[in-house]
Amino acid sequence: MRSSLPVVNLSEATYECIFGRGCDGICCQNGRPPIYPDEAERIDANLQKFLPHLRPEARQLVEKQGYLSNRRKLGLPMLRVVGGWCIFFHQGCVLHKVGSAEGDKYRYKPCACSLFPLARNDKGEWYVRQHGYENEKWNLFCLDPHASTKPAAESLQDEVALAEHFTRAEERTPCAVG
Ligand code: SF4
């Protein structure tokens, strides 16, 4: 079922994630999403599940120093980067893969990653990140509106539904996206 959440440029935006079909997951390169306390609790409680899937150097760092860095965004700690990639990246997102295997790809993934490429503007309106829109600075090819002819309204149904879920719960858990 389609979400009724207003997304300002949804009708004109185009987007398709081609991870594994020509993209190695470059949105996770130097990926440092901020982590909410409840997300950290969920990751902590399930860390033993993720460890065997991590790159050896990432596992070593997590076991020695944890997965959060001292950097902060919006007052929240951010994930560490090792070898130029998010600590949870190993041929894709380990948090995504483990969640998917359990039937919910969003179960452990930080909301900032789960909602990509949706973001909110200064007015709090949801929009699809695209080059040439809202001063988009991230030079990812998938944010080029010419990279795909697929309507974002089709390809981003899960993300829009998730954004609606977060919007409803906003008073309790505002999500750091954008
Ligand atoms: S948590 Fe997962 S999706 Fe987010 S940057 Fe890290 S590897 Fe990528």
Does 53 have pLDDT greater than 50?
yes
Q: Which of 24, 62, 89 to mutate to test the pocket of ligand 1 (most atoms within 8 A of CB)?
A: 89
User: What is d(CA 109, CA 20) in angstroms, rounded to the nearest whole number?
Assistant: 18
- Show the DSSP H helices in 66-145 as ranges: 94-101, 111-114
- pLDDT (average), residues 118-132: 96
Q: For 85-100, how does the pLDDT look when each residue is reduced to its tens digit (9 = 90+)? A: 999 999 999 999 999 9
Query: CA angle, 16 as apex, 7 and 145 as ends, to 5°?
Result: 70
Q: Mean pLDDT, the chain, as a whole number?
A: 93
- pLDDT (average), residues 40-44: 97
Residue 178's pLDDT band, with cuts at 50, 70 and 90, is very low
Q: For 59-77, how does the pLDDT look when each residue is reduced to its tens digit (9 = 90+)? A: 999 999 999 999 999 899 9
Kindly list the domain boundaries of the chain, sorted by start residue. Answer: 26-168
> DSSP 3-state assignment of 12?
coil
Q: Which of 19, 80, 86, 138 to mutate to test the pocket of ligand 1 (most atoms within 8 A of CB)?
A: 86
- The pTM (predicted TM-score) of the whole model is 0.90
Instruction: Provide CB contacts within 8 A for 133, sequence distance 6+.
Output: 9, 13, 127, 145
User: What is d(CA 12, CA 143) in angstroms, rounded to the nearest whole number?
Assistant: 13
Q: Whose CA is nearest to atom 4 of ligand 1?
A: 113
Tell which atom from ligand 1 comes closest to the C-alpha of 116. Answer: 3
- pLDDT (average), residues 28-46: 95
User: What is d(CA 159, CA 126) in angstroms, rounded to the nearest whole number?
Assistant: 11
- pLDDT (average), residues 117-129: 95
> What pLDDT shows up at residue 146?
94
